[in-house]
């Protein structure tokens, strides 16, 4: 199953935490773009998400940091 098929299932909220330059070639339709550098200022946006949240990046480093931060706030 590829990313677009996962997005189309509508069972999760997918958040791309790559920084601006990393998304030069685009992101999958339906994915929320929220760079890791803006996570702290967007915590309330995460709290409003009703479906399970999946954060992703190119290597797993930024998404791991985002996940750890959000888990520390009990958002995900």
Query: In 3D, which of 13, 27, 37 has the Cα closest to residue 58?
Result: 27
Residue 56: its H or E element: strand 53-56
Domain-by-domain residue ranges, the chain?
13-21+30-72
Centroid of chain to Cα 45: 11
> For residue 5, what pLDDT band results from cuts at 50, 70 and 90?
confident
Q: Tell me, which fold does domain 13-21+30-72 have in CATH?
A: Oxidized Rhodanese; domain 1 (3.40.250)
What pTM did the predictor assign? 0.81
> For residue 44, what pLDDT band results from cuts at 50, 70 and 90?
very high
Residue with tokens 């998400």: 49
Residues sharing a CB contact under 8 Å with residue 74, sequence separation 6 or more, in sequence order: none
Q: Taking a C-beta distance cutoff of 8 angstroms, is the pair 76, 67 a contact?
A: yes
Q: What is the pLDDT of residue 40?
A: 93
């Amino acid at each position: 199953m590829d990313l677009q098929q996962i997005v189309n299932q509508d069972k999760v909220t997918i958040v791309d935490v790559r920084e601006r330059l990393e998304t030069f070639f685009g992101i999958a339709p339906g994915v929320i773009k929220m760079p890791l550098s803006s996570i702290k200022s967007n915590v309330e946006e995460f709290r409003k998400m009703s479906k399970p949240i999946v954060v992703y990046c190119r290597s797993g480093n930024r998404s791991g940091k985002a996940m750890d931060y959000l888990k520390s706030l009990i958002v995900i």
